[in-house]
Amino acid sequence: MNLKELSKREDRLSSGHRMCPGCAATIIARMVMYSTELPIVVTTATGCLEVSTTIYPFTAWKIPWMHSAFENAAATLSGIQTAYHVLKKKGKIKKDIKFLAFGGDGGTYDIGLQSLSGTLERGHDIVYVCYDNEAYMNTGVQRSSSTPFGANTKTTPAGKVSFGKQQFKKDLTLVVAGHHIPYAAQASPHNYNDLMRKAARAFEVEGPAFLNVISPCVPGWGYPSEKTLEMAKLAVETCFWPLYEIDNDEWKLNFNPKDRKKPVEEWMKPQARFKHLFKPENDDVLKKIQARTDLEWKELKERCKVE
């Protein structure tokens, strides 16, 4: 992506919104929307991005935008896209328009999964972006199925009785891959070129496309606000959050650290939600997290046919 050319494109999400300083969600949203010059209609599931950009009577969105309930952003967008398709077929709309949904992990991995699955299965020509901050951050940091094993949240508190969340993180991108849609990918905001290339490809394909983007959360993860992109980069360098894409069922690995792969605890140590795991009594939990990360990384490389 040419930064000079990108700087000339319209900013479709204005400054002055009320997201937390250092929040990755708006960084991700801007990068994705900069990736096409075509008009976009956006729908956003209930969550941080929705409530903080549209506090009545204000809005930070400069394009057509619709709020959906927590569970139905994909269904709402599929309805809008279908209406557009009918109107274009009748000649009432001439221009090409792209359709984009944003949802957090709560509205995507959990509450909105049935809606997303139906939209993908029906083949609607939309792009769905999950900004994955790994918990229900908007409502006070409750665990989701995206929350990592061992993490401390309001509903999986770490203490004398428990070490935190008892279940491993759901692999949603793999679930989406099972729908055999034209395009699906994982990305990170620290690598803008990779993320924007993938977003451009998602807008380009005919049919549904899905982007799952790691979205570090300052209050939910517990790290200094200026470290957001560093946290995202560490998630990738430890292979906790691999960068890959599935283009028409062809798997491709986009970043392979090989001998430079960092231990997952380097990503976890700066985060307050994992600090209890570094006590001697929780050493076995750290080992399980590393073992699971290594296993999933091995399986991904096999799918991508790389050493």
Mean pLDDT across the chain: 96
Domain range enclosing 38? 3-304
**Statement: residue 15 has pLDDT above 90:** no
CA distance 191 to 1: 11
Write down the pLDDT at residue 258: 84
Burial 223-253 (b: 16+ CB within 10 A, else e): beeebbbebbbbbbbbbbbbbbbbeeeebeb
pLDDT digits (tens, 9 = 90+) for 78-102: 999 999 999 999 999 999 999 999 9
Write down the pLDDT at residue 143: 98
CA distance 62 to 23: 20
pLDDT digits (tens, 9 = 90+) for 91-149: 999 999 999 999 999 999 999 999 999 999 999 999 999 999 999 999 999 999 999 99
Distance from CA of residue 210 to its chain's centroid? 9
- Look at the chain and report how many structural domains it folds into: 1
Radius of gyration of the chain from Cα atoms? 19
**Statement: residue 36 has pLDDT above 80:** yes
Q: Alpha-carbon dihedral of residues 131, 216, 71, 212, nearest 10 degrees? A: 30
**Number of CB atoms found within 10 A of residue 218's CB:** 21
Three-state DSSP class for 271? coil
**Statement: residue 6 has pLDDT above 80:** no
**Statement: residue 9 has pLDDT above 90:** no
- Tokens 């401390």 correspond to what residue? 152
Out of 53-57, 174-178, 236-240, which region has the weakest mean confidence (pLDDT)?
Answer: 53-57
What percent of the chain is modeled with pLDDT above 70?
100
pLDDT digits (tens, 9 = 90+) for 155-205: 999 999 999 999 999 999 999 999 999 999 999 999 999 999 999 999 999
Q: Are 130 and 209 in contact (CB under 8 A)?
A: no
DSSP string over 102-148: EEEHIIIIITTHHHHHHHHHHT-S-EEEEEE-SSBTTTT-B--TTSP
**Statement: residue 50 has pLDDT above 80:** yes
CATH number at residue 100: 3.40.50.970
**108 phi and psi, to 5 degrees?**
-120, -60
Q: Which of 84, 97, 132 is nearest to 112 (CA)?
A: 132
CA distance 178 to 215: 23
**Statement: residue 2 has pLDDT above 80:** no
DSSP bridge pairs for 41: 99
